[in-house]
Chain A
Amino acid sequence: MSIELKQVSYTYMPKTPYEHKALDDVSFTLDEGSFTAIAGHTGSGKSTLVQHLNGLLHPECGQVLVDGVDLADSSRTGRQAAKEARNKVGMVFQYPEQQLFEETIAADIAFGPKNQGLEGEALAKRVKEAMELMGLDYAAYKDRSPFQLSGGQKRRVAIAGVLALHPKYLVLDEPTAGLDPQGREDLIQIICRLRKKWKLTIVFVSHNMEDIARLADSVVIMNHGQMAIKAAPQAAFEQVGILQAAGLQEPQMLHLLHRLQAVGLPVKADGIQLADGIHAIKEALSHAK
């Protein structure tokens, strides 16, 4: 099972002076169990792209298939299946305010599972579980308003609301933006754990090359509405030209190692994570002696 994008194009405000082609002939497949990162410059079409994955936007041309079902199918026979397919995809928006609306945090998180038909004890359990996953103490937060929180706390509530759905496909649009360093790390650990436990298929919009490197098995790089490349992160990071054209930069550690090479240090520049980089530098220093 998978999500398939087939030659998807999308234009905002067609036939107006503000017409803007935000997606231009994008095709790729997200296999079940895969972890795909999406990166690209501001305005490159990332959010537009991910909003196609749960049918919030429908392609102007092309198709989005979730487990073989066309999300845009509005025929009498296909409508129900399309709705069910859309419900398999949980989506965390770029700004948490875009998805918070209930009066209390507990009600907000309960909204989705309730719509799925959960009630009573089972519903309460879901809400508690999701809040605990996101480090939100149930007793302390359940009755608070989701709007009276700090930016990072709102983000945690928004993510909890989606986790409470137990989605099969989890789509996160810049989920670590606004989280403090520990909070980022915690979120990444949670995502990794749930990926295994719930056998999730994940799509993750991010500007953080280190996170992409350690999490994703492939990265889609967007540039002006087009897919510039879809490749394993390591391979993508070697395409420095493509990265730069898309507003991105090579991972920081790689950048450091390349600079050390440039001043004549014999380092191997293949590490992205801290430990690899430290190791490479130590090796080089002992050789230089």
Chain B
Amino acid sequence: MAFIKVENLTHIYHPGTPQESVALDKVNLSIEAGEFVAVLGTNGSGKSTLARHLNGLLLPTEGRCFIRGLDTCNEQELWQIRQQIGMVFQNPDNQLIAAVVEDDVAFGPENLGMDPQEIRAKVNASLQAVNMAKYRTFAPHLLSGGQKQRIAIAGALAMDTDCLVLDEPTAMLDPQGREEVLRTVQKLHEERGITIVYITHFMEEASVADRIVVMDKGQVAADGTPREIFADVPGMKKCGLDVPLAVEVVWQLRHQGIKLPEDILTEDELVEALEAYTCQSN
């Protein structure tokens, strides 16, 4: 059984009013347990709306959304669903609620009914994972933008769920912070088989996923491995997106007659290929 199954999901905000807006339009999507899926798409393409369906924060206008077979439309199952999905929202201000950082991070685990000792351990570990342990007694609303974002991530980690949904978790972080967060997520995925849904506008981040889903105007426009998705360089640009630097460099060099393998995705692979290219031409 798929971990996440979205069937014919349509979401219309304010239906029947002048503000009516179709945010999701008959989306079908199935994500297996243990998959790391990145979601790309232009502003307004429906990514956050989709994310908010995965823990039943929004309910379908039409269609269904199942988490491990549980239906978000079924009120009795909703609580169970929320226990299984750790969410990081796009704007941390919507997520930070307690007056003190450590209470905020403890909020999720407390709701799950974890025992106090375990909660303390989880709070410590997650604050450490995002490098914010020394801010545990601070007020979240008095932190800098990037610090808030880290606390929001810690809150999701502390719930210790089998699935994490992260909506642009690194948008406000400095480059080193971005790398750290991505590495933490990758580690959870690799070492503990956590299912990851990772929304981002950074193509480099998406390239570490097992699979990329591209949203466009409320629909799934493309779905494949990073190599498949980024192979279409002009196509990605045409729909307002981009490709990782290594892919772009290879694409341009190949167009200028330099015979490099076409399926290069990472900087490591590019360096290796260019090294090989010069050796072979010597």
B29 proximal to A (CB < 8 A): no
Contact of A248 among B41, B48, B175 (CB under 8 A): B175
How far, in whole Å, are A246 and B176 apart by their CA atoms in the complex?
9
B117 proximal to A (CB < 8 A): no
A41 near B177 with CB under 8 A, answer yes
A94, closest chain B residue (CB):
B145
B171 near A177 with CB under 8 A, answer yes
Which residues from A are CB-within-8-Å of B48?
150-151
Interface string of B199-214 (1 = CB under 8 A from A): 0010100000000000
B173 near A42 with CB under 8 A, answer yes
Which residues from B are CB-within-8-Å of A263?
271, 275
A288, closest chain B residue (CB):
B278
How far, in whole Å, are A225 and B75 apart by their CA atoms in the complex?
49
How far, in whole Å, are A149 and B23 apart by their CA atoms in the complex?
10
A256 near B253 with CB under 8 A, answer no
Which residues from B are CB-within-8-Å of A94?
145, 172
B238, closest chain A residue (CB):
A182
B positions within 8 Å CB-CB of A: 13-14, 18-19, 21, 41-45, 48, 90-91, 93, 137-139, 142-147, 150, 168, 171-177, 201, 203, 237, 240-242, 245-246, 248-249, 252-253, 256, 258, 267, 270-271, 274-275, 277-278, 281-282
A252 near B245 with CB under 8 A, answer yes
Beyond A47-B145, A179-B201, whether A207 also contacts B173 by CB under 8 A is yes
A33 proximal to B (CB < 8 A): no
Q: List 19 A-B residue pairs with CB atoms under 8 Å apart, sorted by A's residue number.
A: A13-B142, A42-B172, A97-B91, A145-B19, A151-B48, A151-B91, A153-B43, A177-B171, A180-B201, A244-B176, A256-B249, A256-B271, A263-B271, A278-B253, A284-B278, A285-B277, A285-B278, A288-B282, A289-B278
How far, in whole Å, are A259 and B43 apart by their CA atoms in the complex?
34
Contact of A18 among B90, B142, B150, B201 (CB under 8 A): B142
A143 proximal to B (CB < 8 A): yes
B172 near A177 with CB under 8 A, answer yes
CB-CB contacts below 8 Å: A74-101 with B: 94-95, 97
Which residues from B are CB-within-8-Å of A181?
201, 203, 237, 240-242
A12 proximal to B (CB < 8 A): yes
CB distance from B146 to the nearest CB of A (A): 3
Which residues from A are CB-within-8-Å of B146?
42-43
A42 near B174 with CB under 8 A, answer yes
Contact of A95 among B91, B138, B174 (CB under 8 A): B91
A positions within 8 Å CB-CB of B: 12-13, 17-18, 39-43, 47, 94-95, 97, 143-145, 148-153, 156, 174, 177-184, 207, 209, 244, 246-249, 252-253, 255-256, 259-260, 263-265, 274, 277-278, 281-282, 284-285, 288-289
List 4 extra interface pairs beyond A153-B44, A253-B245, A285-B258, CB under 8 A. Answer: A177-B171, A181-B201, A247-B174, A278-B252
Contact of B281 among A13, A249, A253, A289 (CB under 8 A): A289
Which residues from A are CB-within-8-Å of B21?
148
B42 near A183 with CB under 8 A, answer yes
B278, closest chain A residue (CB):
A288
A151 near B256 with CB under 8 A, answer no
Beyond A152-B44, A285-B258, whether A43 also contacts B147 by CB under 8 A is yes
How far, in whole Å, are A40 and B275 apart by their CA atoms in the complex?
34
B241 near A180 with CB under 8 A, answer yes
A12 near B142 with CB under 8 A, answer yes
A289 near B282 with CB under 8 A, answer yes
Max chain A C-beta neighbours (<10 A), residue from B13, B142, B176:
B176
How far, in whole Å, are A152 and B168 apart by their CA atoms in the complex?
11
Beyond A148-B13, A151-B90, A289-B281, whether A179 also contacts B43 by CB under 8 A is yes
CB distance from A201 to the nearest CB of B (A): 24
Beyond A47-B144, A281-B253, whether A182 also contacts B174 by CB under 8 A is no
Which residues from A are CB-within-8-Å of B137?
17
